[in-house]
Amino acid sequence: RALGKRFSIGTRFSSEGRRLVHAVDNVSLTVQRGETLGLVGESGCGKSTLARCLVRLYDITEGQLLFEGEDITGKSLAGLRPFRRRLQMVFQDPSASLNPRRRVGDLVAEPLRVHGKLGAKAIRERVVELFDLVGLLPDHVVRYPHEFSGGQRQRVGIARAIALNPDLVVLDEPVSALDVSVQAQIVNLLADLQEKLKLTYVFIAHDLSVVRQVSNRIAVMYLGSIVEEGPSEAVFSAPAHPYSQALISAVPVVETTPGGRRRRIILSGDVPSPLNPPTGCRFHPRCPVAQERCARERPALVEHKAGRKVACHFPTI
């Protein structure tokens, strides 16, 4: 069957475990084939939970997850199998996600053994090919994860994720645990692979300069919900939601902008608990421009201009 044009990810995710109830709420996102959607927000805002919902590592109790128009929200493990190989995830900390007692060649071969139809020899060849794709040497296959640097371990994690030729790869803070000097190498590798293998990415990060560099579109999350979504450059140059404005104002501006430096907006207070979110607009206790209506009425994510959505009663757009 021909591949469809888009991945749709429907509304209102929440996860079953008590700890995670409403960690993600009322989110609606669509990821277009071939694009990189950047997902940003402070830690604890639900980015990682959403990421795991997207690849169905967590169950979704409300709403819908569509993959090329097919509803995979409630699919059983067996029903998910054909989708599993097409939806992959790269985790923040490769040391935690790679079994230390297994050779990295075996770790990369594992998805091929579980899902693929290749014989032992073909698997060995495919592993070497994957190592080459991610910039590792063929004789690295016999090493153990601890014999590698953080950057090399993340290359192993990426090789595992692309082993089955996925369509969508969710990258959860793929470079946050790495030295700054290594981050750019991994970002470049991901960009190369995206082009070569026609991958679609959801790229999660709290480092906005990385997200700006890699994303076509971005979605800004606050307390489990998307508060702004739009083309990356448009949102970065003129964020419309007060929370996005604060988040983006904290990024050091390298280029000299006409009119001088951007003023940094410091938010007061901590991120409230997602288990007991504020009434109305969830951002209102910290919003510098909140008005009385904001505490009462929850703003919906509304399209204000082509492709630009904002959830605010008083957006600057």
DSSP state of 16: S
Among 8, 28, 48, 152, the residue binding Mg ion under the rule CB under 5 A is 48
The stretch near ligand SF4 (CB under 6 A) out of 92-100, 200-208, 267-275, 283-291 is 283-291
Taken in order 128, 133, 134, 138, the sign of the CA dihedral is positive
Cα gap 54→142, rounded to integer Å? 33
User: Min. distance of Cβ 212 from ligand SF4 in angstroms?
Assistant: 22
Stretch that binds ligand SF4, among 70-78, 200-208, 209-217, 307-315 (CB under 6 A): 307-315
- Distance between CA atoms of residues 19 and 247, nearest Å: 26
Asked if 170 interacts with ligand SF4 (CB under 6 A), we say no
The item of ligand SF4, Mg ion, none sharing an interface with residue 48, based on CB under 5 to 8 Å by kind, is Mg ion
Beta bridge partners of 230: 218
One of 3, 289, 300, 302 touching ligand SF4 (CB under 6 A) = 289
Positions 212 through 241 that interact with ligand SF4 (CB under 6 A) = 241
Q: How many whole angstroms separate alpha carbon 66 and alpha carbon 135?
A: 33
> Order of strands, edge to edge, in the sheet holding 70-71?
29-32, 6-9, 65-67, 70-71
Residue with tokens 């979504």: 229
- Contact, 136 vs 187, CB < 8 A? no
Rounded Cα gap, residues 221 and 202, in angstroms: 13
- Binding part of the chain for ligand SF4, among 76-84, 113-121, 192-200, 288-296 by CB under 6 A, reads 288-296
**Cβ proximity to Mg ion, 48 vs 200, nearer residue:** 48
**Partner touching 160 among ligand SF4, Mg ion, none, CB below 5 to 8 Å by kind:** none
Residue closer to Mg ion (CB basis): 174 or 315 = 174
- Residue 141 has which token pair? 């296959």
Residue number, nearest CB to Mg ion? 48
From 45, 60, 104, 290, residue interacting with ligand SF4 (rule: CB under 6 A): 290
Q: What CA–CA distances, in Å, run from 276 to 21, 207, 219, 256, 294?
A: 10, 27, 23, 42, 17
Stretch that binds ligand SF4, among 70-78, 181-189, 248-256, 277-285 (CB under 6 A): 277-285
Q: What are phi and psi of 123, to 5 degrees?
A: -65, -45
Q: Decide if residue 58 touches ligand SF4 (CB under 6 A).
A: no
Size of the site for ligand SF4 (CB under 6 A): 13
For residue 246, the SS3 value is: helix
Residues of this chain that interact with Mg ion (CB under 5 A) are: 48
Residues of this chain that interact with ligand SF4 (CB under 6 A) are: 241-242, 281, 283-284, 287, 289-290, 294, 299, 312-314
